[in-house]
Amino acid sequence: MDLRYSIRDIPDFPKPGIMFKDVTTLFKDANAFQFALNAMYENYRDQGINKVAGIESRGFILGSALASKLNCGFVPIRKKGKLPAKTIRQEYSLEYGTDIIELHTDAILPGERILLHDDLLATGGTMNAAIQLIEKMDGSLVGISFIIELAFLKGRNHLGTHQIFSLVTYDKE
Ligand code: AMP
């Protein structure tokens, strides 16, 4: 199955010049959702993962389904101010200004084998901040997974030497 046909392009969203990759069309299709989940599962099933850490908010969808299938826990990485208990935070740069993501301080135990997941890799800024959160908690980062990688933005270059797995790669806009 080519998941490209299940992903919808929305031009100029959320602002002019951005081609938004809409994964709601993939999730609403039972076959596509199952295919994506199985492909991720096959890649990580033998890696002894203790927790999937998913990034708000589209990283929660496949991330939590994957955690369930891997029979491991799921922990959310959220935008600032959303998590109710004690958190650690990481600031990162946006095109204009900065943003902050947070993780509960008790979400990850030292040495736990962690898989990071988000729906899409663009410039890599968000995922780079998430990596730093896992490292601050002394988690062992086993891999980084995306549904979509916009390879022409070279986000990989900001993710160090970690193992990266993407289901669909776009080489040009
Ligand atoms: P970045 O930090 O630049 O890698 O951006 C990744 C985050 O922004 C992910 O959480 C994506 O959901 C979102 N994002 C960035 N660009 C797009 C795009 N073209 N289509 C859909 N989501 C995007």
- How would you classify the pairing of strands 98-104 and 113-121? unpaired
Residue with tokens 């080489």: 171
- Active site (annotated) includes residue 58: yes
| For the chain, percent of residues with pLDDT exceeding 90 | 98
Q: How far apart are CA 55 and CA 45, in angstroms?
A: 20
Q: Whose CA is nearest to atom 12 of ligand 1?
A: 120
pLDDT for 115 equals: 99
Instruction: State the distance from the centre of ligand 1 to the C-alpha of 4, rounded, in angstroms.
Output: 17
Q: Whose CA is nearest to atom 18 of ligand 1?
A: 20
Ligand 1, atom nearest to 56 Cα = 10
Instruction: State the distance from the centre of ligand 1 to the C-alpha of 148, rounded, in angstroms.
Output: 9
Q: How far apart are CA 141 and CA 51, in angstroms?
A: 10
Q: Whose CA is nearest to atom 9 of ligand 1?
A: 120
| In the chain, alpha helices (H) | 24-27, 30-44, 59-70, 125-136
At 58, is the secondary structure helix, strand, or coil? Answer: coil
Longest dimension (CA), the chain: 43
pLDDT in tens, the chain (173 residues): 999 999 999 999 999 999 999 999 999 999 999 999 999 999 999 999 999 999 999 999 999 999 999 999 999 999 999 999 999 999 999 878 999 999 999 999 999 999 999 999 999 999 999 999 999 999 999 999 999 999 999 999 999 999 999 999 999 98
Instruction: State the distance from the centre of ligand 1 to the C-alpha of 121, rounded, in angstroms.
Output: 6
- Active site (annotated) includes residue 135: no
Encoded amino acid at 147, one letter:
I
Q: Which whole-number Å values give the CA distances from 56 to 37, 69, 98, in the listed order? A: 18, 20, 16
Provide the CB-side half-sphere exposure for 86 (13 A, CA). Answer: 3
Q: At residue 164, what are phi and psi to the nearest 5 degrees?
A: -120, 135
> Order of strands, edge to edge, in the sheet holding 98-104?
87-93, 98-104, 73-79, 51-55, 113-121, 140-150, 164-170
- Active-site residue among 42, 95, 135, 149? 95
Ligand 1, atom nearest to 59 Cα = 10
Which residues' Cβ are closer than 6 Å to ligand 1? Answer: 18-21, 55, 58, 118-127, 155
- Would you call 151 exposed, middle or buried from its count of C-beta atoms within 10 A (0-12, 13-18, 19+)? middle
Ligand 1, atom nearest to 125 Cα = 2
Q: At residue 28, what are phi and psi to the nearest 5 degrees?
A: -80, -10
Q: Whose CA is nearest to atom 13 of ligand 1?
A: 120
